[in-house]
Amino acid sequence: MQRNITIAGTALLLACGSSSSGTAPTPLASEVDTRIVNGVPSTTADDAVVMLTEGGQFSCTGTLIAPNLVITARHCVTDIDESDECGTFTTDHRASAIGIALGVHANQGRPVAKGKQLFHENQASGCSYDIALILLDQDVPGAVISKVRLGVTTAGEAASTVGYGDNGSGRLTNGRYRKDGIKIDAVGAAAYVFKTKRGQSMPVDVRPGELLTGESTCFGDSGGPLFDSTGSIVGVTSRGIDDSCIDRPSVFSDTASHSALIRTAFSAAGHPLPDEAPAEDAGSPAPAPSPPATTPPATTPSTPSTPAEPQAEASAGCQAAPGHLSPFGSALGIVLAVGLVARRRRAQASR
C-alpha cells in the first residue's frame, strides 16, 4: 500500500492491511480497473513481483529476491501510528498471517507460501525506515527472482515500477501493472519542488534513505519495486504526498541505505545474495544501518545504528509535502475509500 501522511491513523492502518483490520469486501467486476497510474499490463517477465495477502485479502505488493525471501515496505507488515508527520511503527503483524500469491492475476485466496520471520530495522520512525523483508516458510517452486542493488542511486537515473495497486481513480484493479519511462528526480536527504501539470509547485521533503519519482504508484502498490534500467531493485514503494496519486510524486525507500538489513535477511534465507548490479558512478555507497538484531521467527527486527543520511528518517513511508503518510493496505477496498490504499502519503502526504 502507499501511505499519505495526511490520512488519519486508523485509515492508514486499514490501508496497510494490519492484522487487526476487518475483511475487505470483494469488489464487483464493474469496480475493477487498471493499476499503477498510467501504467500498462504487466507480463510474466515481472513474475518476481508478488501480491501480499492477509486473511485471504490483498494487502500490498512485494518482490521475491530469493526463492524464500520477499522485500516490501515495513508499513505492510507493521502497524503504524500516523498521528504525527512521519508516523511511528508499533506492532508487527504475525509473519505466518502473511501470504504470497503469484502471477499477473494473483489469486489472493491461494497463497503459495506464508511468512516465517520478519526482518526490519529496530527503529520506530516512519520516515527513512519503511522497508522490511519476509522470510517464507518454504522456497517458492520455480521462483522468478529480482536482483537488489545495494550501490548508490543518483538523481536522473531511468526507472520503472510494478504493482497491484489502483490507477489513481480510487477503484480496485484486476491485475499487476507496470510503468516504464520514469526517472529518479531526487535522492534524500533533499528539499524538492514537484511541479504539477498545471504549474502548481509542491515542496516535498525527501528524507534520508528515500528516493522520489514523478507520477507512478498508487494505493496497493506499497512495497512494490522501483527498478533501475538494468532491472535491479533500487527502492520499494513507500508513500505519496497527499490523497491523490494522479499528477503527484511517489516516494520509495532506498535499498542502498539498508544493505546490512538485506544481507542479514539473505543469510537467514540460506541463499546467496545475487551479484549486485553495478551502481552508476555516484561516489561512495550510502552508509548502511548497523547490523540488524535477530529476534524469533515471525519478527526479526534488525537494529541499525544511527542510519546513514539516506536512512536517517526511513519509516513506514514518509514524504515531506503537505500532509501525512498513509500506506496502501491489505484492506485495499477500505484503503481506496479513504485514499490510503497500498501506498502511504509520504511525510506530507503518503499513499
pLDDT in tens, 255-277: 999 999 999 999 999 999 987 65
* Domains, the chain, ordered by start: 2-23+33-274+284-349 (2.40.10.120)
pTM, two decimal places: 0.75
Do 113 and 131 meet the contact criterion of CB atoms below 8 Å apart? Answer: no
Residue pair 335/342 in contact by the 8 Å Cβ criterion: yes
C-alpha cell at 188: 534524500
Neighbours of 161 (CB within 10 A): 28
Helix, strand, coil tally for the chain in percent (to 5): 15, 35, 50
For 130-171, how does the pLDDT look when each residue is reduced to its tens digit (9 = 90+)? 999 999 999 999 999 999 999 999 999 999 999 998 777 766
What is the Cα–Cα distance from 199 to 277, expressed in whole angstroms? 37
- Distance separating alpha carbons of residues 11 and 2, to the nearest angstrom: 12
Contact predicate 100/62, CB 8 Å? yes
Element (H, E) at 261: helix 259-269
| Residue 87: pLDDT over 60 | yes
- Which segment, 25-39, 170-184, 224-238, is predicted with the most confidence on average? 224-238
CB 261 within 8 A of CB 119: yes
* Residue count (the chain): 351
